[in-house]
Structure 1
Amino acid sequence: MAGENDASASALPVDWQDGVFVGRIATDAGPSPVLVVRGEAFDMSARAPTVVDLVESGDFSASGGVSLGAFGADLSRLLAPVDLQCVKACGVTFALSAIERVIEERARGDSSAAADIRARLESRVGGSIRAVVPGTPEAAELKRALIEDGLWSQYLEVAIGPDAEVFTKAPVLSSVGPDAEIGIRSDSTWNNPEPEIALLVDSRGKAVGATLGNDVNLRDFEGRSALLLGKAKDNNASCALGPLVRLFDAGFTIDDVRRAEVRLRIEGEDGYVLEGTSSMSQISRDPLDLVRQTLSEHQYPDGFALFLGTLFAPVQDRDEPGRGFTHKIGDRVTIASDRLGRLTNRVVTSRDAAPWDFGIRALIANLAGRGLLETSK
């Protein structure tokens, strides 16, 4: 992986040569875990055939790895940086996203009805919901007031109530990585990216690192009914992660996640450009509390990746006034944060995205054929 070009360099964190990262690359033999340590890449498959094995070992030195030279971030070879981990996600963890979810619900997925509902909700609950701490007596009092006003919603329940929304985002091994196509359903007419930070958590519940993610959302589907969450969230190529997981160490900690700025840029083939920034400091629930709630009454023997939710909800009109934003095929979506890098994907329909055909059986067969399964014991 020696060598580096402008495009690949821009995908890396500003201080990438000071950090330790884990990821996956496509090799001629099959997918392999890699460690990037102080700028040098190591194929770790001989010691740890999967990212899960590497994480569960707790050893993030390059011992036993094969040097690939100076890391050049060859994006054509980078895969999503998780493999056998479950991919979980938290929703409505920011006040603004809570308001937008209520709008989707009230509009029944009709984008043209959203503007009037947004104005009413923001005038009534915008300030209150931003100030309240979820699960507190003050939150319960706000709930009572909103019920009396006829403004209560199931989305406000998970925004300010004691229990966070935690759902399964994608099947194991189905996530896509940097520069891959990302999919929206072909029958969706109102949808958007969700730029987020995702934590990598081991089987013991310890958050070991963080990466960027796009938790693609179909606003029309979820707006029609929360029971359509599965169709709104889990489709072919609808989950992107990467470019690498930055491991926590003395120079990068969970506090860096708590104060991170996440930037979004959408560039359409029609010349449309949308930009936005969200601050993790405005999250309503602490990232480690979201990890705790995910682990409540559930075990994850292979660990999990956890999307932490998004502040960004694009409401700018793209075409017709009052219709808001929705994706068009060919949109280039870039999610960036200084210390995590840059994740870029091109939007297509889930039907047209590369089919997901490398699952758990294929991975086991590949590792067995490479003689690597004994390594994981």
Structure 2
Amino acid sequence: MQYYRLDDTADGLVASTDDGVFDLGTAETPIGSFRALAAAAARSGSTIDAIAEAAIETSDELPAGALSAATLPARADEVWAAGVTYEISEQAREEESSEPDIYDHVYDAERPEIFFKATPNRTVGHGESVGIREDSTWDVPEPELGVVLYRGEPVGYTIGNDMSSRSIEGENPLYLPQAKVYDRCCSIGPSVASADSIGDPHDLEMRMSIERDGGTRFEGSTSTDQMKRSCEELTSYLTRHNAVPELAVLLTGTSLVPEDDFTLQEGDTIAIEIDGIGRLENDVIVV
């Protein structure tokens, strides 16, 4: 099952199933957000899909076309990210950096790279604009599978775009927070797919395209089976000795890296697709 928020839905979570699209906000016991759904599942010791299935019985059905208005599906208190979890990401970081050896050490180390990515006010949804920094000269999107956590436990998966300034990070690895954390630095969506519906998160096809002036400037695909580390391992390191908030998203790294001579420009459109989750699309503005 997939869960959405829609622009024209004032106070309700939308569930998409094989049988249709349902506004859970109209149920006899309304469900107003993904956070509320996850909380209800935790209280009952059930799954989010089981809670949603019960609510669907008294919910209004929506036309399938309603999902075109999808926006940010869940407002996470924090977004975190993992780096250098695919071999191609390690190679790209080494090429951009003045100190390339540190990325090789991270790729082979026992401890993964986990870093803070975004607060709610820095995170946008499907159809909104992501940002590139005005003081950066080399900017790229990083398409990633996101693990959605409720009280530290995985309850679903989403698509994330970990926007990154390669010029700033490449100048000095200690500039990573400035390269990664800024206005509109992260997008999430278009849905949260339940853990039960995804099955194995390490066997999903991922695709990204970047359009400019009516043409395709980048197109590529990969699979999450190329990840060196599992979602479980990355989640374990995030939650160790760390008070993760009630609702969080952990992005798990990228292997779709545009060529070194490519940089995003204002007006570009980035589209990321992952099987079972959907298509996350954002245009680009300078912030």
**Interval containing the TM-score (normalised by the shorter chain):** 0.7 to 0.9
TM-score (norm 1): 0.67
CA distance in 1, matches of 2:223, 2:107: 17
Letter in structure 2 aligned against 1:187: D
Maintained 8 Å contact 2:143/2:159: yes
CA distance in 1, matches of 2:22, 2:121: 22
Tell me by how many angstroms 1:68 deviates. Answer: 4.5
Matched, 1:47 2:30: yes
Question: Of residues 198, 201, 214 in structure 2, which corresponds to 1:252?
Answer: 198
CA distance in 1, matches of 2:136, 2:284: 13
Q: Secondary structure at the match of 2:228?
A: coil
Question: What corresponds to 2:107 in structure 1?
Answer: 159
Question: What corresponds to 1:262 in structure 2?
Answer: 206
Tell me by how many angstroms 1:165 deviates. Answer: 1.0
Q: Deviations for 1:174-193, whole angstroms, at most 9, x for unmatched residues?
A: 32111211111112111111
Q: Secondary structure at the match of 1:212?
A: strand
Maintained 8 Å contact 1:75/1:179: no
Question: What corresponds to 1:337 in structure 2?
Answer: 274
Matched, 1:177 2:160: no
Question: What corresponds to 1:75 in structure 2?
Answer: 68
Question: What corresponds to 1:291 in structure 2?
Answer: 235
Q: Secondary structure at the match of 2:124?
A: coil
Matched, 1:325 2:262: yes
CA distance in 2, matches of 1:217, 1:281: 23
Q: Deviations for 1:207-246, whole angstroms, at most 9, x for unmatched residues?
A: 1111111111110011112222222112222211111011
Question: What corresponds to 1:168 in structure 2?
Answer: 116
Q: Secondary structure at the match of 1:93?
A: coil
Letter in structure 1 aligned against 2:219: E
Question: What corresponds to 1:3 in structure 2?
Answer: none
Which structure carries more strand by proportion?
2
CA distance in 1, matches of 2:174, 2:84: 16
Maintained 8 Å contact 1:212/1:241: yes
Maintained 8 Å contact 1:37/1:62: no
Q: Deviations for 1:261-289, whole angstroms, at most 9, x for unmatched residues?
A: 21111111174521111221111111111
Question: What corresponds to 1:349 in structure 2?
Answer: 286
Question: What corresponds to 1:57 in structure 2?
Answer: 40
CA distance in 1, matches of 2:274, 2:220: 12
1:169-318, aligned counterparts within 5 Å? 169-203=117-151, 205-249=152-196, 251-253=197-199, 255=200, 257-269=201-213, 271-315=215-259
Against the structure 1 CA distance between its residues 84 and 262, is the aligned structure 2 distance closer, same or farther, given a 3 Å change threshold?
Answer: closer
Q: Secondary structure at the match of 2:5?
A: strand
Maintained 8 Å contact 2:21/2:64: yes
Which one has a bigger Cα radius of gyration?
1
CA distance in 1, matches of 2:214, 2:61: 40
Q: Over aligned residue pairs, what C-alpha RMSD do you find?
A: 2.2
Maintained 8 Å contact 2:144/2:254: yes
CA distance in 1, matches of 2:9, 2:16: 20
Against the structure 1 CA distance between its residues 95 and 191, is the aligned structure 2 distance closer, same or farther, given a 3 Å change threshold?
Answer: same
Tell me by how many angstroms 1:305 deviates. Answer: 0.8
Letter in structure 2 aligned against 1:346: D
Against the structure 1 CA distance between its residues 71 and 281, is the aligned structure 2 distance closer, same or farther, given a 3 Å change threshold?
Answer: same
Letter in structure 2 aligned against 1:210: Y
Letter in structure 2 aligned against 1:22: Y
Question: What corresponds to 2:92 in structure 1?
Answer: 100
Letter in structure 2 aligned against 1:333: I
CA distance in 1, matches of 2:198, 2:216: 35
Tell me by how many angstroms 1:53 deviates. Answer: 2.0
CA distance in 1, matches of 2:17, 2:77: 22
CA distance in 1, matches of 2:54, 2:162: 31
Letter in structure 1 aligned against 2:64: F
Letter in structure 2 aligned against 1:344: E
Maintained 8 Å contact 2:72/2:190: yes
CA distance in 1, matches of 2:207, 2:9: 34
Residue identity over aligned pairs, in percent, reads: 30
* Alignment: residue pair count: 274
CA distance in 1, matches of 2:121, 2:5: 11
Q: Secondary structure at the match of 1:52?
A: helix
Q: Secondary structure at the match of 1:183?
A: strand
Question: What corresponds to 1:121 in structure 2?
Answer: none
Question: What corresponds to 2:46 in structure 1?
Answer: none
Q: Secondary structure at the match of 2:55?
A: coil
Tell me by how many angstroms 1:170 deviates. Answer: 0.7
CA distance in 2, matches of 1:282, 1:325: 23
CA distance in 2, matches of 1:61, 1:232: 42
CA distance in 2, matches of 1:246, 1:44: 18
User: Does 59-68 or 332-341 show the bigger shift?
Assistant: 59-68
